[in-house]
Amino acid sequence: MSRVGQKLVKFKEERQLYSGIERMYMLDREQRTISNFAEIIVELKEQLHKWMQAGQYGFVFDNVEDTLTFSRFQTFNVDGWNGARTTSLLRFPSGQQ
């Protein structure tokens, strides 16, 4: 068993995840979404629901194109969140990232 966050992952689940990741690399880049990954690892699909398009975080994580990057100066476009039209800004203190 492995520990992911605070949840123990059984060997069978770990193998399914590893196999699913390998199979994702056989797909064309534009097909490598969390929703398609969930279809590959069917038995674990429900555990991925909140990160899929139909789930609460799907619009952030389940996209054909991933534009998330990490740098010392980071901005997040939050248009449409709670009706607000703002941009959040995070600055990391020197030496922290």
Residue 84 pLDDT more than 90?
Answer: no
Q: What distance in Å separates the CA atoms of residue 7 and residue 25, rounded to the nearest whole number?
A: 26
Total domain count, the chain: 1
Q: Which tens digits make up the pLDDT trace of 7-37?
A: 667 888 888 999 999 999 999 999 999 999 9
Confidence of residue 2 (pLDDT cuts 50, 70, 90): low
Higher pLDDT, 95 or 69: 69
pTM of the predicted protein model: 0.61
Parent domain of 17? 2-65
pLDDT beyond 60 at 1: no
Domain assignment present for residue 49? The answer is yes
Measured in residues, the chain has a length of 97
Query: Tokens for 68?
Result: 């998330």
Residue 39 falls inside a structural domain: yes
Which three-class secondary structure string do you get for the chain? CEEECCEEECHHHHHHHHHHHHHHCCCCHHHCCHHHHHHHCHHHHHHHHHHCCCCCCHHHHCCCCCCCCCCCEEEEECCCHHHCCCEEEEECCCCCC
